[in-house]
Chains A and B, each alone.
Chain A
Amino acid sequence: MSPIEVGGYSICVLLVLIYMGMPIAVAMVSVSFAGVALIRNEVIATRMIGAVANDALREYLFAVVPLFVLMGLLVTVSGVGKDTFDVFERLLKRVTAGLGIATVFANAVFASITGISIASATVFSRVAVPEMTRHGYTKKFATGVVAGSSVLGMLIPPSLLMIIYAVLAEESVGRMFLAGVGPGLLLSVLFCATIIILAKTRKDFVFETSDDNAGYVDIGGFAMLRKSVPIVSLMLLVLGGLYGGYFNPTEAGAAGAFGALVIALLRRSLSGKSFWNLLVETGQITVSVLFLIMAATFFSRMLALSGVPRELADFFLSGPVGPYGFLILYLVLIIALGCIIDSISIMLILLPISLPIASAAGFDLIWFGVLTVVAVEMGLLTPPFGLSVYTIKSAMNDPDLRVGEIFRGAIPFVFAMLVALVIIAIFPSIATWLARL
């Protein structure tokens, strides 16, 4: 077999193995090992597997993964999310479907202190959904809003997906973070527009009862200020430190995790036991993410040996498909895969193949990354395996709430994301302007 054939077959075998339910990292490593053994020989394959296992993860930057995950889990238990929601609820109580919009805004702000969407989904399903149902919103809509706006967590910096993309594409993490700001704001606005349109045209989708008699807890200006302090100081610490030039991304993660720990301790929402459990949980998420990154490194080295990416680039760019045809195919493929696999796995499987093509096509890789992340995030909301939806289901702990109902509630927001994707694809400067400043 020629190297190209080996590479081509290994991609097919990989997809079959993943579909059959082999752990994705194991599938990638074994396919890559077999590929290298066939292209070169077993001795080289064995050396490569050892080298990758020892050195692929030996990067200071990867320390951000456990740190941002720990920070996300700490702010989840610390009650900062509830305070943020309270403030926006108070500010928006006179607006149509104000609680829905408050959820979006609170999520956008919360996103700037957490890099994982699971954290946002967990917090706001416990905070925002009960409040919305109390005010007569349907559960379908309430959970749909939470699911939709939780994706902002991965778009507005800091963001775990942006870090992973930056590593694979060899872009600067700081720039990738900045590139998420514009699209994150765009998406927030589109979400609010979706909510208002739904509230005006499809009242039964949004409201259970037509009149909302439930009272609002009135909080004064001072209380609002007090509730804003923790989240604003964490934001200042992480983003201010990062862009003020005091921290590199790894240090921003460490400082953020430490800050979140201090806030959780000050508010007495953390015991020694629960802190230990959070550390254990952090460890397991870290292992599954980084082990996958290691496997993807091996996979991309094998592909580079096989010459498949070069061949594919030739095929797509000089053939009838063209660069933009490739882009559309790529985004459709991501959204389709999003129905089956989690976000990080999709990126780690597809990017080794698609990045060489994208850079051969002369695409701005920052823009390409933002499109990738938005498309990947749509997968969080689409059935049958929308991760955010299942997170909400398990966080709510409500046997009457069906998963299908949450999925239906999230559909309008999936469309809003599709619109955002098209807008960003047509106007790249939404993503790149701030990053290239």
Chain B
Amino acid sequence: MLDDPKSTDAHDNRGHRLVFAELIWQRLVDSLAVLGTVLIGLLMLLICVDIVARNSMGASLPLISELGALTVVMIVYLQLATTIRADRLARTEIFLVVFRQSYPRLGAMLTALFDAIGAAMIGLMAWSTIRIFEKDFASGEFIGVPGIATIPTWPFRILILLGLAVASVEFLLRAVSALRSSAVKKETT
């Protein structure tokens, strides 16, 4: 296939574009993860400041508990894609590992199926988050106490949506690459 002189040019070009797209995608996943990581540090500082404020001035800072709760949700969804890529979601390894050794092709297809189901489920979550975002945006949902401090919730919904969408695509890409590796194994065996 690679030795075919007529197709190399077009193939090369497509290959370059593919590598480039992969690079951009990786950057996107990584930068969401960096944002999530920074939020962990911020969360710690925010709560510490709140402790000091409450125990020295007798009053809790406004918004902290609601903001803290939303930050936890952000941390999870912003880092979901990178966790999927690192294969850190908890799973058992009794069956699949052995199965993949004895039946590499079927094993890769099963992995692809699992990843595809993951993509579908997280995709559904993203899909129904759109509706929640529209509702929050239209009705001006906010956290906090009016007159003291409030923050609208829709920007958080956008970040949740973004994290879920990216995670879903990441699962899909994994499914595709697992399928591709099963096809390669078919050719070589």
A326 within 8 A of B: no
A342 close to chain B: CB less than 8 A: yes
Q: Is the pair A63, B71 in contact by a Cβ cutoff of 8 Å?
A: yes
Interface flags for A250-261 (1: CB within 8 Å of B; 0: not) read 110111011000
A241 to chain B, nearest CB (A): 8
A46 adjacent to B128 (CB under 8 Å): yes
Q: Which residue of B lies closest to A261 (CB)?
A: B44
Q: Say which one of B5-13, B76-84, B144-152 lies at the interface with A.
A: B76-84
* Contacting pair A23 B37 (CB below 8 A): no
A251-B79 in contact given A21-B93, A23-B90 (Cβ < 8 Å): no
Please report the C-alpha to C-alpha distance between residue A283 and residue B82 in the assembled complex, in whole angstroms. 10
Nearest Cβ distance between residue B83 and chain A, in whole angstroms?
4
**CA distance in complex: A369, B55 (Å):** 32
Q: Is the CB of B68 within 8 A of A63?
A: yes
Task: Evaluate contact between A290 and B76: CB separation under 8 angstroms.
Answer: yes
The answer to whether A19 and B92 have CB atoms under 8 Å apart is yes
Instruction: Point out the residues of chain B lying under 8 angstroms from A255, CB to CB.
Output: 47-48, 51
Docked complex Cα distance between A140 and B160 (Å): 48
C-alpha spacing A46/B45, complex, angstroms: 37
Q: Are A246 and B51 in contact (CB under 8 A)?
A: yes
B124 near A: Cβ within 8 Å? yes
Identify B89's interface contact among A279, A280, A291, A344, CB under 8 A. Answer: A291
The one of A47, A54, A288, A340 that contacts B92, using a Cβ cutoff of 8 Å: A340
Q: Whole-angstrom distance from the CB of B112 to the nearest CB of chain A?
A: 12
Judge whether A49 and B125 touch: CB under 8 Å: yes
Q: Cβ of A284: which chain B residues have Cβ within 8 Å of it?
A: 79, 82-83, 86, 88
Q: What per-residue 1/0 map shows which CB atoms of B5-34 lie under 8 Å from chain A? A: 000000000000000000000000000010
Interface of A is mostly: helix
Contacts of A292 in B (CB 8 A): 90
Residue in contact with A66 in the complex, picked from B40, B55, B160, B164, CB distance below 8 Å? B40
> Binding site of B, secondary structure by majority: helix, strand, loop or mixed?
helix
Binds B, one of A25-33, A148-156, A418-426: A25-33
B61 within 8 A of A: no
Q: How far is the CB of B106 from chain A (nearest CB, A)?
A: 12
Which residues 47-83 in B have Cβ within 8 Å of A in the complex?
47-48, 50-51, 55, 65-66, 68-73, 75-76, 79-80, 82-83
Which of A49, A53, A251 has the most chain B CB within a 10 Å cutoff? A53
Complex formed: what's the CA distance from A294 to B120 in Å?
Answer: 16
On chain B, the residues within 8 Å of A30 by CB distance are 117, 120-121
Q: Name B69's contact: one of A19, A33, A53, A62 (CB within 8 Å).
A: A62
A19's nearest neighbour on chain B, judged by CB, is B95
The reply to whether the CB of A217 lies closer than 8 angstroms to some CB of chain B is no
Is A345 in contact with B128, judged by CB distance below 8 angstroms?
A: no
**How far apart are B161's CB and chain A's nearest CB, in angstroms?**
10
Given A19-B95, A25-B89, A255-B51; A50-B127 close (CB under 8 Å): yes
- State whether B160 touches A54 (Cβ < 8 A): yes
Q: Once the chains bind, are A250 and B88 in contact (CB under 8 Å)? A: no
State which of B82, B90, B117, B124 has its C-beta within 8 Å of the C-beta of A342. Answer: B90
Q: How far is the CA of A176 from the CA of B100 in the complex (A)?
A: 42
A26 near B129: Cβ-Cβ < 8 Å:
no
Q: For A250, list chain B residues within 8 Å (CB).
A: 47, 68
Contact with A along B159-186 (1 / 0, CB 8 A): 0100010000000000000000000000
Cβ-based interface call for A168 (8 A): no
Contact in complex: A50, B72 (CB < 8 Å)? no
Which of B33, B89, B117 lies in contact with A283, CB distance below 8 A?
B33
Q: Are B95 and A288 in contact (CB under 8 A)?
A: no
Once the chains bind, are A60 and B69 in contact (CB under 8 Å)? yes
B128→A20 contact, CB < 8 A: no
Minimal Cβ-Cβ distance residue in A for B125:
A53
Distance in angstroms from A286 CB to nearest chain B CB is 6
Whether B43 is near chain A, meaning CB under 8 Å from some CB there, is yes
Chain A 399-414, CB within 8 Å of chain B: the 1/0 string? 0000000000000000
Q: Which 6 A-B pairs have the closest CB atoms?
A: A50-B128, A21-B96, A254-B47, A23-B89, A53-B125, A287-B83
Interface positions of B (Cβ within 8 A of A): 33, 36-37, 40-41, 43-45, 47-48, 50-51, 55, 65-66, 68-73, 75-76, 79-80, 82-83, 86, 88-97, 99, 110, 114, 117-118, 120-121, 124-125, 127-129, 131-132, 157, 160, 164
Return 27 A-B CB contacts under 8 Å, by A number. A20-B110, A21-B91, A23-B114, A24-B91, A24-B92, A51-B128, A53-B125, A53-B160, A54-B160, A60-B66, A60-B68, A60-B72, A63-B71, A65-B72, A66-B40, A251-B51, A254-B48, A255-B48, A255-B51, A279-B37, A283-B82, A287-B79, A287-B88, A288-B83, A288-B88, A344-B90, A384-B94
| Interface contacts beyond A23-B118, A54-B129, A290-B75: sample of 5 additional A-B pairs, CB < 8 Å, sorted by A | A21-B97, A26-B118, A57-B76, A58-B72, A286-B76
Q: Using a CB–CB distance below 8 Å, which chain A residues touch chain B? A: 18-26, 29-30, 33, 46-47, 49-51, 53-54, 57-60, 62-63, 65-67, 70, 246-247, 250-251, 253-255, 257-258, 276, 279-280, 282-288, 290-292, 294, 340-342, 344-345, 384-385
